[in-house]
């Protein structure tokens, strides 16, 4: 009985009239699947995302659409209003329509697989607690997740620039000398506590109306607070085993579920493994055994 349970837990298979996909899971939980074509690749990619990360995909989608209040209630009304004003779905739809037909076909295959995966994913604890089920995934929703992430990063850059402008207005020509990129004094500063501005303090500037309204606080923080990121490479001539190495660290917040979804997909033409974002059929950081890539 125990052996049967372990076997079922480490093997998954599904099939449609045209597509068959089988997947196993290694000892660290990475999904490993073999497919016969690129169309199957995207279909199965969607299925595993939809089954294992249905709630995360639906959350990203609802944030971008400004529809979280439907599920979470009054506390999400302000953030929903701000996202409605941005109208990211309209932008995503326009970007999708501008894609080549082959790209559209792959996103459609992914969406079909994701919707099928939702049939299992809707049984996750989050959906049970909130008493609802995810709607079908559409091809343009993958573009919507990308647009949301782009906005989230741009928003953080705007806030950082906003804080820098406040410092410049207060300290004028001394700003660059007194403050580093994180708006914290250098370790050798002669300023004492209270003589410099921190991120938690406010300064009356020409931005007072926006500061008073604090509109930025109404935008949802989806992908974590701003932080650094880094990567580095070691050439094969410098490594002990003669192989090149790439380390890539985007410095995202620790979350449950984890932001990344690790997956290994094999087709007759390629064998790729790496981290993906639920909702988007792309290996963001990974390797195909010949070259490795990363994104920070």
Please tell me the predicted confidence (pLDDT) of residue 225: 63
Please tell me the predicted confidence (pLDDT) of residue 178: 66
Model confidence pLDDT, tens digit, residues 55-74: 999 999 999 999 999 999 99
CATH of the domain at 82: 1.10.439.10
Domain count, the chain: 1
Alpha helices in the chain (DSSP H): 2-9, 38-52, 54-65, 69-72, 77-86, 88-97, 101-121, 125-130, 139-171, 175-178, 208-213
- What whole-number distance in Å separates Cα of residue 173 and Cα of residue 176? 7
Please tell me the predicted confidence (pLDDT) of residue 212: 39
Which stretches of the chain drop beneath a pLDDT of 70?
1-19, 21, 156-160, 176-228
Cα–Cα separations (whole angstroms), residue 57 to 99, 154, 212, 263: 22, 21, 34, 16
Which residues form the domain of 191? Answer: 2-293
Please tell me the predicted confidence (pLDDT) of residue 165: 77
Model confidence pLDDT, tens digit, residues 257-291: 788 999 999 998 899 999 999 999 999 999 999 99
């Amino acid at each position: 009985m125990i052996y049967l349970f372990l076997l079922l837990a480490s093997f998954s298979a599904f099939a449609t009239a045209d597509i068959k996909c089988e997947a196993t899971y290694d000892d660290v939980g990475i999904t490993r699947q073999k497919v016969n074509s690129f169309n199957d690749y995207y279909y199965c990619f969607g299925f595993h995302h939809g089954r294992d990360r249905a709630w995360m995909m639906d959350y990203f989608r609802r944030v971008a659409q400004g529809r979280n209040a439907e599920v979470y209630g009054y506390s999400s009304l302000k953030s929903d209003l701000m996202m409605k004003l941005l109208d990211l779905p309209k932008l995503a739809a326009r970007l999708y329509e501008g894609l080549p037909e082959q790209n559209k076909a792959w996103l459609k295959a992914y969406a079909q697989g994701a919707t099928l995966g939702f049939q299992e994913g809707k049984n996750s604890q989050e959906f049970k607690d909130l008493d609802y089920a995810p709607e079908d995934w559409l091809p343009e929703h993958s573009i919507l997740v990308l647009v949301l992430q782009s906005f989230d990063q741009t928003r953080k850059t705007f806030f950082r620039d906003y804080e820098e402008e406040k410092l410049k207005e207060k300290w004028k020509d001394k700003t660059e000398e007194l403050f580093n990129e994180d708006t914290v004094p250098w370790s050798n500063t002669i300023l004492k506590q209270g003589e410099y501005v921190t991120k938690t303090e406010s300064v009356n500037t020409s931005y007072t109306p926006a500061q008073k309204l604090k509109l930025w606080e109404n935008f949802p923080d989806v992908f974590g607070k701003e932080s650094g990121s880094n990567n580095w490479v070691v050439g094969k001539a410098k490594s002990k085993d003669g192989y090149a190495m790439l380390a890539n660290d985007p410095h995202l917040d620790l979350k449950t579920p984890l932001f990344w979804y690790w997956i290994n997909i094999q087709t007759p033409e390629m064998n790729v493994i790496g981290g993906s974002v639920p909702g988007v059929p792309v290996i963001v950081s990974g390797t195909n055994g010949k070259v490795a890539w990363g994104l920070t």
